[in-house]
Structure 1
Amino acid sequence: MMMTKRAKYLLMSVSSCPLLSASVAGAQTASPPAVVTAPGASEAPAANAPAATTSAQSADQGGVQDIIVTAQKRQETANRVGMSITAASGDDLKLRGITSAIDLVKIVPGFNFTQSNYGAPVYSLRGVGYYDTSLGAPPAVSVYVDEVLLPFSIMSIGATLDLERVEVLKGPQGTLFGANSTGGAVNYIAAKPTSTFKAGFDATYGNFNRLNVGGFVSGPISDTLKARISFSNEHSGDWQYSYTHDAKRGKSDVFMGRVLLDWTPSDRLKVRINVNGYTDRSDNQAAQLVAVLPSAPAVVKAQPLPPGNNRAADWDDLDPYRRKADFLQASVRVDYDINDAMQLTSITAYDTFDRDSVTSADGTRVQNFAAATPGSSRDFGQELRLSGDIDRVRYVLGGSYSYDNVKDSANALADVSSLPFKKSIGTANQKVNTAAIFGNLDYRFTDTLTLQGGVRYTDLHRKFNGCLYDSGAGDLAATQSAAASRLLGRPVVFPAGSCVTLGPDFLPILDREKLNEDNVSWRAAINWQVTPRALLYANVSHGYKSGAFPVANATNYLQFAAAIQEDVIAYEAGFKLTAFNRTLQLNGAGFYYDYRNKQLRGRRIDEIFGSLNVLVNVPKSSITGGEIQATLRPAKGLTISAGATYVDSKIRGDFLNYDALSQFGNFSGEALPLTPKWQATGDGQYEFALSSEMRAFVGGSINHQGATHAGLGTNPLFAIPSYTLLDARVGIETPDDRWRLVAFVRNITDKYYWTNTFQSGPNVVIKYTGQPRTFGATLSYRY
């Protein structure tokens, strides 16, 4: 009997230790076992997995299968390890329309996405995130592809191409491998080259003239060399419309590609080469106007507010407001088995990223405020680690080095505004050197009790230089000259096109700063296998995220002040339980995060620009919460999964700053911005046979995001109401999974919602809406 791919996914939504991998016990004989590997673990399936017929029969009889976790080719059930991780297969991601990290909110309770105003995505887990708009913002939630770090969140657009699975780990990370992070990690695992010839394609057509075509070819080149080539071209037409003039925008045009080579010259040596990248030529989303502030010119005050739907927006015709982004990454991974119990791993990566983007950020028919954000990044990373077993101890020891060279700009375009100029050029260049050593140990104290510990030392050196430049028109230079003349008590004149950021002596300065930081992060855990089907676990970890400099239109050098590194001590206790004759898998956890120096977008009042975003540190804050996930198979063919997360965030002690409209206040006791208290996900699917040669399925999912606020204070203009989205799907497929046709509808009710709202420039408040109702069909074929 055959286990469906859908069943495989649902069995992969488990809690697991970051050292370990989980595979379905006894996968079908037609394909290798489905493996869920947490970062840092061996991806090889266990050599002596149980027979396929046993697990397949168990699945078809309505029971939740045992999950086998493997670390260095040893087997344990998932109930013997404890840490919150959600995993999903690449097949299920396609089925549910999850084509980017943005969509992970549909399957990962506690995961949240925020659209920033200049295109950089912001990810958070359990309320831990870092909202910044710059290209080189160090993330609180790290993203990896096959354990190779994507240094900045904006590089994650192409990470979802041709996946075997995705894993999301919650809580501070860094004691095992990769980079420090306070929120968690998302690890995408690419589908690997196969030992026999395989090929496939997926084609989707939907409303707004959406046409996505992708495919792969995989197989052996020689006895020791295998290859896999995959691609995806995503294209759609305009989905936004102007409500004041005859214009549309919102097209998408993204191409992604990957070449994987697996070379195995001997039984002990394996080399994997991964070359991947993407090009993005899409429109930037237009903002929706929320309010016009009293400082605005009359023509801006005359702008009407939009109708209440996701598609309506407005923009001017001075620029096409598109982005041109190119990303290329090459990595080499070498695994060498020193002996049967010890492995040496080297991961080397280099990537380049370039963008030229212009965003209309005012939601009006005139150019009140727009932003041009050209930039580039060149990044190198090297990691070396040793892992293995010694009797009852499993260990990982290693070190890493990375170098990032980021050039970024934030150019303000204000043809009609209260600003005394029409264009400014803000630059920020950073060079970052990071070195770390780390170690992690698992000790099997008894057959039912396992102790874990990890530590990491990180040394980081960040060099920064930034300045605000006149565009060459001389208007900003004249304004800054007048300000400096008043402050100095004598006339000074700054040339057109020059740097005009005022230094400590009130004369122009290219501000140069350094930020040298080090830290020791750590983790300790205990797992108690109460019964073969019940686990209790507890862990405590101390994580860090590096400090950062802002990209700002800084008329004064003080606006370039860095936010120092933040750190969090996270406490978590949880359980995993299989019950009711294996028809229910229930996982739950409670957590408390003690936050120090949380990095936040605050405000500073500037005499030229007025209220400006700056980086600040919140001295003390906390997050208290809990989550629960369940998978239920009450009958053959029927599977139901659900999850929910509750997060209560709070600023502790005094914190003096400005709210979203520049009103000074003490924000003690307030919730952290962009942190909803409640998030929930759910999915159900029923599969049934139409004939011996065809089966059908019908399913749906729900995603609820609680209310939150986009900034400090309680001004209703910046409120983000709660919303609930519904998706549905129906399809047919052959029993051998060769052909599949799926029809889908997403956001069935065409729910009007938004994910961010903020003051853009000095005159308007805007928001970014979510996607409207979309529908279409996907045809897939596998050979």
Structure 2
Amino acid sequence: MTKGSKRWLGASVATMALLAATAVAAQTRQFNVPSEEAAKSIPEFARQAGVQITAPVSELRGRRTPAITGQQDVRSALAKLLTGTGLEVASDNGATIILRRAATPTRISADGGTEQPASVLDEVVVTAQKRSENAQNVPITLTAFGARDLERRNIEQVSDLSRFTPGFNAAQFSYGKPIFAIRGAENTFSAAGATKPVGVFIDEVYIPRFSASNITLSDVQSVSVLKGPQGTLFGRNVTAGAILVQTREPSLQGVEANARAGVGNYGLREFSGYVSTPLSDETAVSLSVNREQRDGFGKDLLTGRDEDDADTWAARGKFLFKPNDAFKLQLSADYGRDKNGGRALSALTGSDTDRRTSQLGVVQTFERDMAGGSVRIDYGDGPIKLTSITGYRYSDTFEIFSRSGLSYLSLASGFQEIGEERERDSAFSQEGRLTYDGEALSLIAGVFYFNEDSERGFRKYRLNARTGAITMDNFYDQDVRTTSAAPFADATWHVTDRFDLTGGVRYTYEDKDAREVLTSKTAPATSFTGIASQSWSEVTYRGVATWRPTRDVTLYGSYATGFTAGGFNTEADVIGAFRAYFNPERSASFELGLKSRFAEGRGRFNVAAFSTKYKDKQEFVFNNLTFVGNIINAAQASARGVEADIAYSPIRALTFSGTFAYLHGEYDQFVIPGAAAATGNPLGNSPRYTYSLSADLDQPMAWGRLLASASYSHKDSYRPSATLPQAIPATGLLNAQVGVGALDERWRLILWGRNLTNEQYPLIISNYSVNAEWLAPPRTFGLRLSYRYQ
């Protein structure tokens, strides 16, 4: 099949001739087939073997094969190549081999007829170890989502992943301040001089500010959430975990396109589209767009303005140049913009009993522009490959919001505090690495460089109760420049065919130059200009032992360390607090895990137990003796727990799945000056028990396909922070969708619903002058029509 020919994907009966051959294969051949996507490795294997191989195209997507090297018997080598792919040989006449999706043998029913063979579960390819691998084969605790998973679960943003990811919790203080916590590790700092313990990466490029990290998941090939310290392979060393978003690559094989349009309640209008086309046998381009508009879930009764509405759009373009199997160049660029009327922060006291309306009297707004690009070069056609990834990310966020839940007009005492924030961030990153995949040793070694300039302006002012007199008006002008460099290496020794030992190490050097200019209109004598710089260095490492007693079972044990970078209090009210920098937060984690398949590939069961220690944990502390708030290395903490996921497909059309997490996290030592000790308090954003249950149906009928999905997720109550006594209540969400589609999957019509029981639960609670809450979205539903051309 020529590279420029047209492919029809998605039909289960579609087949593709990967290579024509004219002779029967010899008994042994010399192979040099690298580990890569099945759509590329299988035709290359066929060429080297001198046979013709035909495979169902729809089953090659998202599957990856191991490397095959050396002089080997053709059939034995093919068996190794297909390991873990879910494919098997259907027929073999010597010169032509036909592959199919692996399944249990056809069963004879009670009436003497045949039953449809059961299916093999969908598998997701991830880059958790800087190489594309089947998620089930990676000895790391992670939760992976393919494009189909995202669609079935109605997952649209990074924060939505938390409902189906054990150990991951997502909340929000405001639209510009999402809170991501993995295994209880998080912080709520927004100062330019602080770093988050959870890293978000898109196409292996780090997104430095959380204000730009809760991105829309369109044009995505896979998303994976890695749990625990990521101190070896990832450029921005983190103590808690990483979220990896991998977008789709343009196809050289033919035109691929899809479009989706929908409407829903609250005036929802949405559209998304994707097209990929080859320009020649060596080049291809793709373009994706996403647009959404929606009315507000809430309203400010004093201003009459909608709150919690949506107006977003995003676009991404990619260019692929692949003149041969040894060289690949990818260029990517994206831009997105979203805006709304701010959050509906509703007071828990007063005359208004509607929890979705507010009485703030502030013209709130949220506006965000994001852009980025990357250049990726892969070179190598064999066990050695060189990779260069050059990335740039930019974000510009502006937000006005009331920090207090009532207008000063309704307050009997105290004040209404209002925040105005502008944040501009630009970051350049460069990673170069060498990957070697041999029979006895696999190695990744490289260097990572990162440079970031974060500018943040934060105005905080208070309006006195009843009168509205301004009692405080401070502006914090912040500028922080970060430079980081880190060489790293990670090697796996394949001791036997079933036992691996992995060791990795990274040395990180980081330097921060910080400036804060505090201007106070109400107390000019407190104004100051502070300039400071500090550097840190850290060695982090990991060790993993992996045993695969059978092809369907992986057992592993690991020890890993990580750190969250130190920084400065660039929103300090006194110059002493600004100069008192805080050091890195460190973590060390033990983990034991099992990944397994059962029922001949129709089932999956994964479980992991972990114990993590946090040292010099970064916390914001309000000193009741000096009346100054500050970020300090205040606490020692620990977390332990169990995470599990299971999936089972009793018949080809039906799949059941579930997740479970138990988390016990607490502060082992946390003393707050002038206040009650927080030692023994639970970690913030760490619910004790979470679980989810899902069922998915895709049943072919005479007229088309019947489609249905339902999911329920539960989250225990939890504290949003160690020092805030109010708790976010336990919640359970029910989502579902039902629809019809074409047999060849070209079109679908789906009726969907989220939060069908209309649970009212807060994203965050506030105690500025009055107790208040900001509710998560209510029940939403809509109709979507999608079309796919391939």
Q: Normalising by structure 1, what TM-score?
A: 0.84
CA deviations 1:280-309 (Å, max 9, x no partner) are: 222221312246xxxxxxxxxxxx165364
- 1:559·1:604 contact (CA, 8 Å) conserved in 2? no
> How many Å separate the matches in 1 of 2:295 and 2:385?
50
Partner in structure 2 of residue 396 of structure 1: 444
Partner in structure 2 of residue 704 of structure 1: 714
- 1:681·1:701 contact (CA, 8 Å) conserved in 2? yes
- 1:159·1:188 contact (CA, 8 Å) conserved in 2? no
| Deviation at residue 268 of structure 1 after TM alignment | 1.5
> How many Å separate the matches in 2 of 1:633 and 1:146?
31
Specify the code of the residue in structure 2 equivalent to 1:96. Answer: R
Partner in structure 2 of residue 585 of structure 1: 604
- 2:739·2:750 contact (CA, 8 Å) conserved in 1? yes
> How many Å separate the matches in 1 of 2:36 and 2:158?
21
Identity %: 25
| Deviation at residue 755 of structure 1 after TM alignment | 2.5
| Deviation at residue 4 of structure 1 after TM alignment | 8.9
1:531 to 540, 550, 575: 550
More deviation, 174-183/435-444: 174-183
- With over 3 angstroms needed to count, the CA separation of the structure-2 counterparts of 1:160 and 1:67, relative to structure 1, is closer
- With over 3 angstroms needed to count, the CA separation of the structure-2 counterparts of 1:146 and 1:775, relative to structure 1, is same
Partner in structure 2 of residue 62 of structure 1: 118
Partner in structure 2 of residue 656 of structure 1: 671
| Deviation at residue 700 of structure 1 after TM alignment | 0.8
- The question of 1:737 aligning with 2:745 is answered yes
- With over 3 angstroms needed to count, the CA separation of the structure-2 counterparts of 1:711 and 1:76, relative to structure 1, is closer
2:399 to 332, 357, 370: 357
- The question of 1:35 aligning with 2:39 is answered no
2:367 to 313, 324, 345: 324
> How many Å separate the matches in 1 of 2:591 and 2:445?
25
- The question of 1:673 aligning with 2:718 is answered no
| Deviation at residue 216 of structure 1 after TM alignment | 1.4
Partner in structure 2 of residue 454 of structure 1: 504
| Deviation at residue 225 of structure 1 after TM alignment | 1.3
- With over 3 angstroms needed to count, the CA separation of the structure-2 counterparts of 1:632 and 1:269, relative to structure 1, is same
> How many Å separate the matches in 2 of 1:68 and 1:281?
33
SS in 1 for 2:686: coil
- 2:231·2:560 contact (CA, 8 Å) conserved in 1? no
> How many Å separate the matches in 1 of 2:216 and 2:36?
20
Give the 5 Å matches for 1:228-247: 228-242=286-300, 246-247=304-305
- 1:650·1:669 contact (CA, 8 Å) conserved in 2? yes
> How many Å separate the matches in 1 of 2:283 and 2:600?
45
> How many Å separate the matches in 2 of 1:749 and 1:313?
23
> How many Å separate the matches in 1 of 2:213 and 2:204?
13
Specify the code of the residue in structure 2 equivalent to 1:154. Answer: S
Partner in structure 1 of residue 777 of structure 2: 771
| Deviation at residue 532 of structure 1 after TM alignment | 3.2
- 1:118·1:133 contact (CA, 8 Å) conserved in 2? no
| Deviation at residue 730 of structure 1 after TM alignment | 0.5
Specify the code of the residue in structure 1 equivalent to 2:636. Answer: K
Give the 5 Å matches for 1:548-697: 548-552=567-571, 554-558=573-577, 561-605=580-624, 613-653=629-669, 655-657=670-672, 664-691=675-702, 693-697=703-707
| Deviation at residue 669 of structure 1 after TM alignment | 1.4
Specify the code of the residue in structure 1 equivalent to 2:542. Answer: R
> How many Å separate the matches in 1 of 2:392 and 2:346?
38
SS in 1 for 2:323: coil
Partner in structure 1 of residue 757 of structure 2: 749
- 1:710·1:758 contact (CA, 8 Å) conserved in 2? no
CA deviations 1:721-770 (Å, max 9, x no partner) are: 1111111111111121110111111111111101222333xx23433211
CA deviations 1:495-522 (Å, max 9, x no partner) are: xxxxx33xxxxxxx31122221110111
Partner in structure 2 of residue 85 of structure 1: 142
Partner in structure 2 of residue 314 of structure 1: 359
> How many Å separate the matches in 2 of 1:419 and 1:23?
68
- 1:194·1:219 contact (CA, 8 Å) conserved in 2? yes
| Deviation at residue 589 of structure 1 after TM alignment | 0.8
| Deviation at residue 3 of structure 1 after TM alignment | 8.2
- The question of 1:346 aligning with 2:388 is answered yes
SS in 2 for 1:623: strand
Give the 5 Å matches for 1:95-244: 95-117=152-174, 119-134=176-191, 137-158=194-215, 160-195=217-252, 196-242=254-300
> How many Å separate the matches in 1 of 2:643 and 2:619?
25
- 1:137·1:152 contact (CA, 8 Å) conserved in 2? no
SS in 2 for 1:175: coil
- 2:202·2:244 contact (CA, 8 Å) conserved in 1? yes
Specify the code of the residue in structure 2 equivalent to 1:669. Answer: G
| Deviation at residue 782 of structure 1 after TM alignment | 0.8
Partner in structure 1 of residue 514 of structure 2: 464
1:257 to 312, 315, 330: 315
Q: Normalising by structure 2, what TM-score?
A: 0.83
- 1:641·1:684 contact (CA, 8 Å) conserved in 2? yes
- 1:65·1:582 contact (CA, 8 Å) conserved in 2? yes
Specify the code of the residue in structure 2 equivalent to 1:175. Answer: T
- With over 3 angstroms needed to count, the CA separation of the structure-2 counterparts of 1:73 and 1:215, relative to structure 1, is same
> How many Å separate the matches in 1 of 2:624 and 2:130?
59
| Deviation at residue 224 of structure 1 after TM alignment | 1.6
| Deviation at residue 177 of structure 1 after TM alignment | 3.4
- With over 3 angstroms needed to count, the CA separation of the structure-2 counterparts of 1:164 and 1:80, relative to structure 1, is closer
CA deviations 1:566-615 (Å, max 9, x no partner) are: 111100001123334544311111000011011122223487xx6x6431
- 1:136·1:408 contact (CA, 8 Å) conserved in 2? no
- With over 3 angstroms needed to count, the CA separation of the structure-2 counterparts of 1:103 and 1:23, relative to structure 1, is farther
Give the 5 Å matches for 1:251-290: 251-290=309-348
Partner in structure 2 of residue 335 of structure 1: 378
- 2:693·2:711 contact (CA, 8 Å) conserved in 1? yes
- 1:81·1:527 contact (CA, 8 Å) conserved in 2? no
- With over 3 angstroms needed to count, the CA separation of the structure-2 counterparts of 1:552 and 1:719, relative to structure 1, is same
SS in 1 for 2:496: coil
Give ranges in structure 1 of 5+ residues lacking alignment: 6-18, 39-45, 292-303, 482-499, 502-508
- With over 3 angstroms needed to count, the CA separation of the structure-2 counterparts of 1:156 and 1:173, relative to structure 1, is same
Give ranges in structure 2 of 5+ residues lacking alignment: 1-8, 13-33, 43-53, 66-79, 89-97, 106-115, 410-415
CA deviations 1:348-393 (Å, max 9, x no partner) are: 1122222222112222134811111012112111110011134400
- The question of 1:436 aligning with 2:493 is answered no
Specify the code of the residue in structure 2 equivalent to 1:678. Answer: Y
> How many Å separate the matches in 2 of 1:70 and 1:178?
17
> How many Å separate the matches in 2 of 1:639 and 1:341?
37
> How many Å separate the matches in 1 of 2:132 and 2:452?
39
More deviation, 132-141/742-751: 132-141
- With over 3 angstroms needed to count, the CA separation of the structure-2 counterparts of 1:80 and 1:364, relative to structure 1, is closer
- With over 3 angstroms needed to count, the CA separation of the structure-2 counterparts of 1:520 and 1:751, relative to structure 1, is same
Q: How many residues align?
A: 703
- With over 3 angstroms needed to count, the CA separation of the structure-2 counterparts of 1:73 and 1:370, relative to structure 1, is closer
Specify the code of the residue in structure 2 equivalent to 1:777. Answer: L
More deviation, 120-129/268-277: 120-129
CA deviations 1:504-559 (Å, max 9, x no partner) are: xxxxx311222211101111001112233322210000111101323425145325
1:545 to 564, 567, 573: 564
- 2:209·2:425 contact (CA, 8 Å) conserved in 1? no
> How many Å separate the matches in 2 of 1:28 and 1:235?
42
- The question of 1:516 aligning with 2:535 is answered yes
